[in-house]
Amino acid sequence: MDVYGHVNHANTVTLLEEARIALLFGESARHAGAEHIAKGVVVARIVVDYHAPLVANGGVVRISLSVREMRHAAFTMDYEVHTGPSVDDPVAVTAETLLVPYDLASGRPRRMSEAEKDFLAAWRSGSNGA
């Protein structure tokens, strides 16, 4: 936290990362045949907007994720960080990341597979991820 008791920027970005990892590296991605995304994806761009303080009080926050845009070799993920566990709790932070699937062996970006595209399409804005 910072000197005012708020979650600082570095920890906010870590919260976003943890939510993204839970989605992309989780069981549902593997079941959808999108397990290769967990073998390499890099953040090419991140934008974080703060709307209200996120108080570091040990409480639970809610992070909503959605996929806004998909290209052959990149996708944009949107985040809403709520001040509490409910969707009705105020949004303190919105963010976006541009993510690029990456082949670690060759050291180059790679195109997404059809299974990866299908998995991510289920998380487009307004869908339920199913």
* Predicted confidence (pLDDT) per residue in 44-72, tens digit: 999 999 999 887 777 889 999 999 999 99
Q: Which CATH superfamily is domain 9-122 in?
A: Hotdog Thioesterase (3.10.129.10)
Amino acid identity at 105: A
* Local structure of residue 37 (DSSP, 8 states): G
Confidence (pLDDT) at 99: 97
List of long-range contacts for 103-106, beta carbons under 8 Å, 24+ apart: 103/40, 104/39, 104/40
* Local structure of residue 33 (DSSP, 8 states): T
pLDDT category, 7, cuts 50, 70, 90? confident
41's tokens: 């994806």
pLDDT of residue 128 exceeding 70, the answer is: no
* Predicted confidence (pLDDT) per residue in 94-122, tens digit: 999 999 999 999 999 999 999 999 999 99
Pick from 11-15, 24-28, 76-80, 82-86 the range whose average pLDDT is largest: 76-80
pLDDT (mean) for 11-35:
91
pLDDT of residue 6 exceeding 60, the answer is: yes
* Range list of H helices, the chain: 9-24, 27-31, 114-121
Confidence (pLDDT) at 130: 44
